[in-house]
Amino acid sequence: MHQATLVGQCAETDAACSRRHPLAPLAVGARFHPDVSAEIAGTSTPSLRLESAAPDILSVEAGDLVARKAGAAAVLISTDDGSVVDFVHVWVAPVTHITLAKRDGERVSGSLGLAVGEDVTIDPALWSGAQRLSGDEDLTWTVSDDRALAVLRDGSAGRRRLKARAPGHSTITVALGDSKAILDVEVVP
Amino acid sequence: MKHVLLLVALAACNPTLTVQSPQPPGRIARMDPVRTFWGLQRYRLELSRGVAIALTCDLDGPCEHMQVVSDDPAIAEVRPASLGVLQQGGLDGEQTSAALVVVGKAPGATRLHVRSKGKERDVVVTVVAPPEPGALTAAR
């Protein structure tokens, strides 16, 4: 209906933000933080709320879209009296694999070298085949040797900052169910 | 013959509906008119579960005081909608379009009743289950 937009809550300069648009399907289990706006002739944006046509596939919780299972569901954007100003069909897909990238979007795989004191931010991406998925997931991060390398939260649900502490070797594993990405990190003096 | 003409005239004076949103890929959102010798009788609307479709209502211009009721909102839910556009209203200039959104909630069949100025048009709605992954064929 071309009156409202639904975009992710991302900084303009954050190239790796996986939540920018729900143009890609949401990953099953992921949470999308929408920023809804409307452009309607002759009026400022009215109070808007979101509703899902199929809450078992995609639910709306505290203003977020939560992907429950694979499928598609219309998300209705309506005024507080229930009048629909727009809707968008959002798709949900299962995660088949995970990749890791630096904050600028450059992909990281295999091994990575860091000098003591150096740090790098790693942003995982969720994929369904060749298609990148959107949404935030609760990924599990494990580090084989936390004396050599610290894994620090940076305020984002998925992203982590790797801080080289001492010379050595450590393996980072990022997992979601059966899918995982592994990164070997060598820390040099 | 007078009765025939009267029936045709009455059928023509009921609200007509127009689709305003496209069908999403791999899902169904399609409305077709059901016509007989007497003209447009009703519409049949096929929707996949979880899919929405926007329609506008016309009766000599945008439907005035449009009311839409679903016989079974658990199968097909209907909501008023605001397209925010003007359209020609017969000889009386432009009026804001009268719109509605139908949402497929659960597989099954039901009927919508669209009323305006004491006239009514029915929409027979069939909501189908979405295809299982990998179950799509070219026979659509």
- Tell me the CATH number at B65: 2.60.40.10
- Looking at residue A44, its amino acid is S
Chain A residues in contact with chain B using a Cβ-Cβ cutoff of 8 Å: 1, 3, 40-42, 53-54, 57, 70-74, 76, 78-79, 82-85, 87, 89
**B111 close to A (CB below 8 A):** no
User: Could you give the CA distance from residue A89 to residue A74 in angstroms, rounded to a whole number?
Assistant: 4
User: Over 70: is that where the pLDDT of A189 sits?
Assistant: yes
pTM of the model: 0.82
Determine contact, residues B54/B22, Cβ cutoff 8 Å: no
Which of A60, A23, A4, A89 is CA-nearest to residue B81?
A4
The verdict on residue B123 lying in a domain is yes
In a domain, B15, yes or no: yes
Residues β-bridged to residue A161: A121, A152
User: To the nearest whole angstrom, how far is the Cα of B84 from the nearest Cα of chain A?
Assistant: 6
How do the domains of chain A map onto residue ranges?
4-93, 97-188
Q: How far is A123 from chain B (nearest CA, A)?
A: 29
Q: For residue B136, is it within any domain?
A: no
Written as six digits, the tokens of B48 are 């996949």
Residue B79 in contact with partner chain A when CB distance is under 8 A: yes
Task: Residue A91: name the closest of A34, A40, A138, A22 by CA.
Answer: A22
pLDDT at B131 over 60: yes
How many DSSP H helices and E strands does chain B contain?
A: 1, 11
> In the CATH scheme, what architecture does the domain A4-93 have?
Sandwich (2.60)
3-class DSSP string for A12-60: CCCCCCCCCCCCCCEECCCEECEEEEECECCECCCCEEEEECCCCCEEE
Question: What is the per-residue pLDDT for B88?
Answer: 74
Residues 6+ apart with CB under 8 A from B48: A72, B27, B28, B29, B104, B127, B128, B129, B130
Inform me whether the pLDDT recorded for B139 exceeds 70: no
- pLDDT tier for residue A13 given thresholds of 50, 70 and 90: low
Predicted interface score ipTM higher than 0.85? no
The answer to whether position B59 is within a domain reads yes
The count of structural domains within chain B is 1
pLDDT band at A36 (very low <50, low <70, confident <90, very high): confident
Is B124 inside a domain boundary? yes
pLDDT, mean of residues A81-90: 91
What distances in angstroms separate CA A90 from CA A187, B54, B75, B97, one per listed residue? 43, 16, 20, 26
Mean pLDDT score of chain B: 85
Q: Is it the case that residue B140 has pLDDT exceeding 80? A: no
Buried/exposed B88-109: b ≥16 CB within 10 Å, e otherwise: ebeeeeeeebbbbbbbbbbebe
Per-residue pLDDT tens over the stretch A151-172: 998 877 788 999 999 999 999 9
Question: Is the residue at B27 inside a domain?
Answer: yes
A97-188: which CATH number, 3.90.25.10, 2.60.40.1080, 2.60.40.10, 3.40.35.10? 2.60.40.1080
**Whole-number percent of chain B with pLDDT over 70:** 84
Range of the structural domain that residue B44 is part of:
2-128
Share of chain A above pLDDT 70, in %: 89
The tens digit of pLDDT for each residue in B7-24 reads 444 445 889 999 999 999
Give the mean pLDDT of B63-67: 91
Residue A156 gets which letter from DSSP?
S
Domains A4-93 and A97-188 share a fold: yes
Chain B positions touching A71 (Cβ under 8 A) are 50, 130
pLDDT value at B65 more than 80: yes
CA dist A11 and A26 (Å) reads: 19
| B133 belongs to a structural domain | no
What is the pLDDT at residue B107?
A: 97
